[in-house]
Every structure is written in C-alpha cells, then in structure tokens.
A and B are shown apart, each in its own frame.
Chain A
Amino acid sequence: MKCRSARKMMSALIDGELRPAEKESLTRHIQDCGDCRKLHHEMLAVHDLFTAAGQHKAPRGFSKKVMAELRTERKSYSIFPVRIPLFLKLAEVGFAIAIVIVGIISGNILVMNVHSLEKARGIESSFSLDAFDPAPPDSLAGAYINFTEVRNER
C-alpha cells in the first residue's frame, strides 16, 4: 500500500468503516511507515479529543419551554378547535364573505324599494278622488244619500 492510499483510508479506519482486508492492509502499512504512523496517532488524538468533549446537556427546563411555547402558538394560531382541512377553512371564509355580500345587496334593494313605495303612495294620493267627494258620509248630503238609498231598498 502507498502512503497516499493509506492517508485516504485512515479516517475510515478510525470509524471502523473499512472492510477486513482493507483494515489489515492499512494496519500493516501503518506499522511499517513512520510518517503514516505519526499521522494516524495525531488523527486518533483528535478523535479522542472529541470523545473527551462529549455532549452538552440542554439548559434546565428546555422541554418545558418548548412545550409552553407550542401551547401558546396552538391557542393563537387557530380559531378552529380541531384540525380542519384547508379547503374547509377556505369554504368557511368564503361562506362568510358571501353572507356579507348578500346582506349588502339585499339592503340596497330594500332601500330602493322603500323609496319607490313612498313615491308611488305620493302619486296615488295626488290622483285620489277622495278629496273631491261631493258628499262625504259624515256630511248632511251624505246622510241624506244614505237615507234615500235605504228607503229605495225597502
């Protein structure tokens, strides 16, 4: 084995990722070559440094903080208490908008109708013949007409 190939395989040797034949060949080379032996020792020292450093521990109360934040987010995130598919949420919003639009249109129609109704009443009253009734029922002439009509019927 040449030193160049040995260098390439050295990292995999530390990680135990070499096939048995490769491992045997590299180990033999390291025993015979001073430079590669030195390199291997230094790489192992770096590896040992990482092992010594170990893992950090998450700050105290980390999981509680995460869960509290998620609970707050869940509350403020949605007005829907259960998970509803997006298309249903959109349909609900669309339905609300449709109601508002229908309300606006029907309100306009109503206002327009009230105006025309009032207008029609005005016109009707202006053409009414009630004002020209020659003998209103509570007048003397009206009483006379009623009296004669009753007598004629007999």
Chain B
Amino acid sequence: MNRTDDIDLISRFNSGEVSAYEELVLKYQDKIYTLCRYMLRNVHDAEDAAQDVFFKAYRNLKDFKPEASFYTWLYRIGINTCLDYRRKSFSASSFLQSLSGGITSPSDQSLFDTSPERLHELKETRKSIEFALAKMPEKLRAAIILREIEELTYEEIAEVLNSSIGTVKSRISRAREMLREILMKNI
C-alpha cells in the first residue's frame, strides 16, 4: 500500500478532481470488502457496509490528516462501520444466511476463475474461518482479521484500533488461541 500515491490522489481530489477518488476506491475496494465479509459474515450486509465505508471516507476526506496513513484511516472507518452494522442490523436475511451457511454469492468475484475442486476447498476453508470468527468477541475478531487477512503490522493495527501495540499483541495471541480451540474441535 503506497502511502505517497494515496497522498497524491487525496490532494488531487481536494483540488476538485473527483476521479481521483474513484482510483482510491478501486485500490482499496477488495480489502475493505474482505474486511466487511469476515466481520459481518453476510454477503449483502458486507457489500452495503463496504459502500458505506467509501461514502463516509468521501465526506470526511477533507479532514484527513496526511501524517496518518490513508489505509489505516480507511480500515478504522471499516471496523467502526461493521460494528455499527452488527449492532443495528442482525437482519432476517443475516439469520437465514447463517442458517444455510452460505458464504458465497453470485457476485463473489474471487471464485470465478477457480477449478471446481479448488472452489470447493476454498469455500470450505472460508466457511470454517467465518464460523470460528463469528464465535469470537468483536475486539479479538477485528485484531485477527487485520493481522491474518489484511496482513497489517502490529503497529498499523494499533493505529487502526486506537490501542497500544501491547494490547494488539495480546488480542492477536488470544484470538489465535481461541481460533485454534474452535477449529481443532471442528476439523
């Protein structure tokens, strides 16, 4: 994630070039969508939440301070938006989908170019991870997703979650212990 590129795009946007924002959306859409998928487990909520993240970022971009990283700022909006979604809308559709265990949707682009065996394997893997993540407290879930899925460093995670590096380290460690217990029981 190139920080100078982001700053350049943001300054172009702030000087009136709206298309610069579309470049930022294209650059981060997969990461934010993935974050929302693992945080929310529901395809439709994840898409709505990911869109909301970019709407919120757009409205607040003029207040963004260039000394911070754009992507950690965006992830922070993402985590907060997902937490809001979880609190507000444990909708009937989420419930039905969790019953059916469906983690993919017709619009799941990452599965389009995959062989049937690999597709099945990938679906099962994601299903297990989503199942285990759903059983975890929100704080641990956010920390482990940012580390394992988004591959952020401890320092970056601390920035996103507004916590100390020590807290992040401890949350990730506890999250791994919990995941191990849940997943080893089910494998």
Contacts and interface: CB of A to CB of B under 8 A. Distances in A.
Interface residues of B, number: 42
Contact of B51 (A42, A43, A50, A65): A65
A90 interface: no
A46 interface: yes
Contacts of A115: none
Interface in A1-22: 8, 10-12, 14-15, 17
Contact of B33 (A12, A51, A52, A59): A59
Given A17-B169, A53-B126, A69-B55, A58 B50 contact: yes
Interface string A66-89: 110110010000000000000000
A123 interface: no
A55 B37 CA distance: 10
A130 B47 CA distance: 91
B30 A49 contact: no
A58 B29 contact: yes
A99 B164 CA distance: 56
- Considering residues B26, B169, B173, which has the most beta carbons from chain A within 10 angstroms of its beta carbon? B173
A12 B176 contact: no
A53 B126 CA distance: 5
A56 B22 contact: no
B129 A63 contact: no
Contacts of B122: 52-54
Nearest to B129: A53
Interface of A, secondary structure class, is helix
A18 to B, nearest CB: 10
Interface string B47-60: 10011001100100
Nearest to A73: B55
Contact of B29 (A12, A54, A62): A62
B109 interface: yes
Given A53-B129, A55-B110, A59-B107, A67 B22 contact: yes
Contact of A66 (B51, B105, B107, B184): B51
Contact of A63 (B22, B172, B176, B183): B22
A46 B187 CA distance: 11
Interface stretch (B1-9, B76-84, B88-96, B147-155): B147-155
- Considering residues A50, A57, A58, A73, which has the most beta carbons from chain B within 10 angstroms of its beta carbon? A58
B159 to A, nearest CB: 15
Contact of A11 (B22, B26, B108, B172): B172
Nearest to A65: B51
Contacts of A54: 110, 122
A60 B149 CA distance: 21
A28 interface: no
A54 B126 CA distance: 9
B135 interface: no
Nearest to A50: B148
Contacts of B147: 15
Contacts of A52: 121-122, 125
Q: 7 shortest A-B CB distances, which residue pairs? A: A57-B109, A59-B107, A11-B173, A50-B148, A58-B29, A57-B110, A58-B33
